A and B are shown apart, each in its own frame.
Chain A
Amino acid sequence: MSLCEMKDLKKTYQMGEIDVDVLKGINLRIDEGEFVAIIGASGSGKTTLLNIIGCLDQATCGHYILAGKEVTELNDDELSAIRNEHIGFVFQSFYLMPYATVYENVMLPSLYAHKRKHRFEKRAGELLSIVGLADRAKFKPNQLSGGQQQRVAIARALINEPDLILADEPTGQLDSKTAGEIMNLIVELNNHGKTVIIVTHDQHIASYAKRVIEIKDGVIV
């Protein structure tokens, strides 16, 4: 079943007088359970595409349907709700709240959700076990290694049971051994049915994915 579907999606930025076409007609369908890597050089438009898939940005024209909803027409609050419900972000620099504990960081998305809290509490514990940090729940992020911090970020991305995990260079700040561990964790998640999209410029990281999409000058090649 299709989870994301893009039809003739275009994105144009205005730089003063000049219009810059970043995405020039993307047609893409990603089904549930897929593991897709989007690769491309910097300036190719891959980050813009990721932002649009993640509902952080909106296309200038074309259609984007996520989980059966047309996203192009939604307002800011509705986009926030979509992000909260359907998407889990994993960033290159982890982006954990420095003053909150590991457990509180994992719980953060639930803050903006409408579901009941006790379900999240139980799930946060389970997720910390899955990422192997059950004994670090009370720690602060700066007491953890980079790999451990990224595991916390992954647990955070999963807390709201999103349909889609979006990872932007998830191993960019990790050494190759830790990067391998993180990628194995992501593969594991995908094996359990999560749809995963990662954006990377690293061919080796992309090779973990089942499908690789290369983007160049705003079009899929």
Chain B
Amino acid sequence: MSGHNPGGSGWFRYADPTDTDSAAAVINEETAEQPQDWPAEAVRAGVVDGEDDYYHALHEVTLQATRAAVRERETSTEQQLHHSIAAMDDAERTANELAERVVEWAGSLAGDDREPPADGIDGVRTVAAWTPETPAEERVVSLAERTVDLDAERAALRSFVESHAPTVAPNLAEMAGPVLAARLLSLAGGLESLAKKPAGTVQVLGAEDALFAHLEGRGPSPKHGVIFTHEYVRGTRPDDRGSAARALAGKLAIAARIDHYGGAFRQSIHDDLDDRMATIRDREDEV
């Protein structure tokens, strides 16, 4: 019950409880080993008039502190990367869906003097260039224009991801490529949790359905999750893909740890991976 406690002090000792801004910073930054009867201590210290007064101040201060902490965490580059890769996928999926619709619809309107549009976004570009002559053509051309715009947004999102992934995780982005790096970060729930995952988990991130099917005894163990999109996995012959995926995942896990705990770019792990992949691919030539 002395004025000092060995485990640390209450938040109100660091800042005036009615000065919400500085008190909020104290809530987010200070620590204490052991809690005390803070309301009583604050009254005793004379910083508040009574317990009701204390709780009133505490309410204001915790709201403010937590609002600021949420904002800080949510606007971090890592979080922005997470949203942008998800948005890129949404834009791509939606653009493809609309492209199918536009091509099918425009095909029915092509008539004699126009080529029916090709499949995909190229066909949509052709349709967007038509001069509409009927109300139906006006609609399909307008839809085509919007689809082309959406595809452009997808491309813009992709370049945003490409420029931001290296600032979040330079080694991971170098090794995996920025888009795959962003996907891995997204699936793992951030750089910190990716850095804490074992290589075997990194190898099958994104293949959770197959993994759990395997664990329940329905099906083989998955060799790779999203890392399949990496040239080192996809470009390796099927017999060696398991080895390639394992080697890549191992180095990716290390890259994530360097990025999280260190932060500097390290050329040697990239060289190590290249050597290892060369060895695996040599097997192909030997047969």
Decide whether A and B assemble into one complex.
Answer: no
